[in-house]
Chains A and B, each alone.
Chain A
Amino acid sequence: MPNQDANADRIREHEAFNDSTLTDLLQCSLEPSSSPVHHLVSHYRDKSQTDWFDRILVDLSIPSSLDVACFGETCPHSLETLTSLKQKCKSAFQLADEPGLKCDALLKYYLAIAMAIMGHGRFITSRDRAEFEMIFVEVAEITPTPWNAFLREAALKLCELA
Chain B
Amino acid sequence: MNAQTHQSDAFPRTTRTWIGDQLALGAIGRDEVNRHVMAIYSHPLRVYLLGSSCRTAGEPDEIINGFFASRLDRSSFFDDWQDSGLRLRKWLINALHFHVKEQWREVRRHAGESMPDVVEDESTAHLENDLHRAWVDSLVRESFRAAAASCLDSGLSDHWDIFVRHFVNVQAYADLCTDFDISPAQAAVMARTAAIRFRTAVRDSIARDGVETGEIDSEIQSIMGRL
Contacts and interface: CB of A to CB of B under 8 A. Distances in A.
Interface of A: 2, 7, 10-12, 14-17, 19, 21-31, 33, 130, 133-134, 137-138, 140-141, 152, 155-156, 159-160, 162
A-side interface mostly? helix
A26 B140 contact: yes
25 contacts: A7-B149, A7-B152, A10-B152, A10-B160, A11-B149, A14-B168, A15-B141, A22-B136, A22-B137, A23-B224, A25-B140, A25-B202, A26-B202, A27-B224, A28-B195, A130-B185, A137-B192, A137-B196, A138-B192, A141-B193, A141-B196, A141-B197, A155-B189, A156-B182, A160-B186
B167 A14 contact: no
Contact of B192 (A7, A14, A134): A134
B157 A2 contact: yes
Contact of B144 (A14, A24, A141, A159): A14
Interface string B199-227: 11011000000000000110011011001
Contacts of B152: 2, 7, 10-11
Contacts of A133: 185, 188-189, 192
Interface residues of B, number: 41
B185 A26 contact: no
Contact of A2 (B155, B188, B220): B155
A2 B148 CA distance: 13
Contacts of B161: 10
A159 B185 contact: yes
Contacts of A159: 183, 185-186, 189
Question: Closest 8 CB pairs between A and B?
Answer: A29-B202, A159-B185, A11-B148, A7-B152, A29-B199, A159-B186, A155-B189, A137-B192
Nearest to A21: B168
A97 B157 CA distance: 41
A31 B202 contact: no
B193 A140 contact: yes
B220 A29 contact: yes
Nearest to A29: B202
